[in-house]
Structure 1
Amino acid sequence: MTEENFFTKLPYLIFISLITLTIWFFGQEELGGFLIQDLGLYLFSTIVFILLLSIKNTIHIVPFLLNMLFMISQTNWDIDLIPNSMYYVIALLILGIILHIVIYKTKFLRGKFFLGISFLGVAVIISMIVNNQAFSMLSLLLFLYIIFLILLYGFFANTVEGEFLVYLIRIFVVLGVLISLEVAIFYMREDDVIHALEAKTLNLGWGISNFIATYLIMFISSTVYFIKKYKLHIFWIVLALFEFVMLLFTLSRAGIIAFLITSLFLLLFMFIKYEHKWNLLLNITIGVLIVSIMAYFTKAYFYAIWERLELYRLEDNGRIEIWKEAIATFKTHLVFGGGVLARQADGLRMFHNTILHILACFGILGGIALVIQFISLLRIFFVSFTQEKAILLIALIGANIHGMVDNIYLMPQYMTIMFIIIAFVESANKIDILRKELRIS
């Protein structure tokens, strides 16, 4: 790993997320005529802007950028209800990126993932034009979103310098704790926790249960990395189990099942090529016992979770019919898809499956883009495959397993996190290749 300093260590990252948690907690209260949520977004985006102008290596903006994704506590959403602070954030980020490119003469139209994301962007735009969906406020916002995503990936892929994968994993570990605390606080604020569980009212503002579950799956994976890395297994095991309990409290059946599948990869990661397997297994057993004892004293909540999950079991909630609709739409609009409004003409609705959604909305062109992205991802990760790359790949796999029953892939939070992961891995690959060349010479 490239040389570290205070700004890449846990205390600093925890401090940033504590500020985020405070802003989220008091977000809808006013201070000086502004919502605290808006003040937080103004503060963090301004810090990012200053860092973009003053430091060439963009690794230092990542904790602020990612914390902003989980800072918003507003629960009512509509195009008319988007706070002005979000427009400010987007405008300031774009301006900061442009100025950074000019100041440091960055060549940003490079990167192994650039072709795939650009191809998908073209597929989206063509599908909107072909289906007469190109001239509306929603289409304009989607067009700007596509441009922003392409710019964001190209920017990070060419401005992250050095091998900082452990630093990125640290950020994810802290974010996992942040989200878990937000879930816990949400229920603590409820007058009747049992009713909140039975009615599945969980809404953190920036996301509802299924979205929350996705990011917990990703960030628990990062915590597992530290279970294997550090001798003090028990602390990280209890932390990972706490995050898993909060995943249960999301009541996202798809998220829970996706994590159980992902946990098979995580178990393989922990035990393969690890000398002290019995010691690790003992620590896991102790951790499970500790969490089980704590759960016993709050068993009424777990009964409510079980009853809710048992009530719906593996019911598809209309998913199968939606998937059939997606297949029918794809057959009707084979090449270019039915556009972003393929499912509902007067609003943006999802088909609850990454592959089917892209095929239905963007046709064969979109499917080709997805295949290109998948191949590019494997090519990026399997250059000098390391434990750090393995755990980040497992995090992406876990999120996309969940994406088979919920729309995750095209969400702003996920795309931002994925691009940052890919950019960090590509940067680490450059260091690995340089080391090999030096050894050969």
Structure 2
Amino acid sequence: MADVPPEPSPSARELLGHRDYVFFWGSRWAGAFAAQIQSVAMGWHMYVLARETRSVEESAFLVGMIGLAAFLPVLLLTLPAGEAADRYDRRKVLLLCLTGEIASVLSLAIATVNGWASPALLLAIAVVFGASRAFFAPANTALGPMLVPRRLLPRAIAWNSLAWQTASIAGPAAGGFLLAHAPQTAYFTTFGLYALAMVFVASIRGNTRPEVNPGSRWQLMKEGLAYVWRQKIVFGAISLDLFAVLLGGATALLPVFARDVLHVGSEGFGVLRASPAIGATLVALWLAANPLRRYAGGFMFAGVAVFGAATVVFGLSKAMWLSVAALIVLGGADMLSVYVRQTLVQLVTPDQMRGRVAAVSSVFIGASNELGEFESGVVARILGPVGAAVFGGTGAMIVTALWAKLFPDLRRADRLE
């Protein structure tokens, strides 16, 4: 019997014809842009404040502590956050989270203007920001698939990533430019972008309340954990991201590389921060126009392996152009693996469980990003920033090989349909 040719891929015009999805995409872009500027500003601000009285290694450690402070609330609130996304109106949950983020960055801006900013205050704001993000991530992830038909989901995921990555290019560059004037300028700009994201979310008019499964809150939380554990493709995909990026999180040390390794200052720091997003955006643009149809698992593992190798090159580089090139490759490889992971997870997860599964995924992602920053800071304290980057990139490649052996079904995953 002859093979049936695959259906043509739905067009981007069809996807963008869904009004609520367009507002969702706009909120995702504005919120990501704000988060990038805030992250750049807080990392640089912490390093500058710490270097007034501390060594390079101690200051790098404090920069890494911002990541830990932001991650701890995510870890503690993961299960209730996922349950909330599957019980309450997801649009309203996002509005409440954005309110918390606005309050945190506005407090930091006011404190900076009045000369109250300190490493302790930056860490406290990171905790508040982390608590808001703990609830934001699962609600945001679960809301997107409600706004488009299922057949448009792979393309929507690519466009969602495109929103994040384009903001990730503009955000660090804008952050570096704003920091050249004053930290409070970056914080007030972040405030305005979060407010814009709130307007976009408030403009969504469709049904954003999920079907609620019967059972107590604790039962629903346990159900979500059990589902992730049983679905080995889901568990393998998100745990690969956890350990690979946890070890390869050398980008947390960019303030150190910019100031004391490459000697390029705050504007060079902005370029370095934007470089991974440039690579990621190029790959996201390609995926938005040409969603993967075959060999999904192989592409994901290849992406993580290249991510680790590029991290090693970045760590060893002493030239700005080579560091930028390595970060661009790193970002593109990461985008490829993230696209496959997100598409696989969302396609196999029923809507009434998306919040809880997204919450578990978010804590894994949060662990990889935030604890990765902490791990990089700790290793940098022992091995120095260059040693930390080489150690992390090598570890990411080892984890990739190990996971390919432990999760053969994930490695053999083929069609994203």
Report the TM-score, using the length of structure 1 for normalisation.
0.26
Report the TM-score, using the length of structure 2 for normalisation.
0.27
Higher helix share: 2
Larger radius of gyration: 1
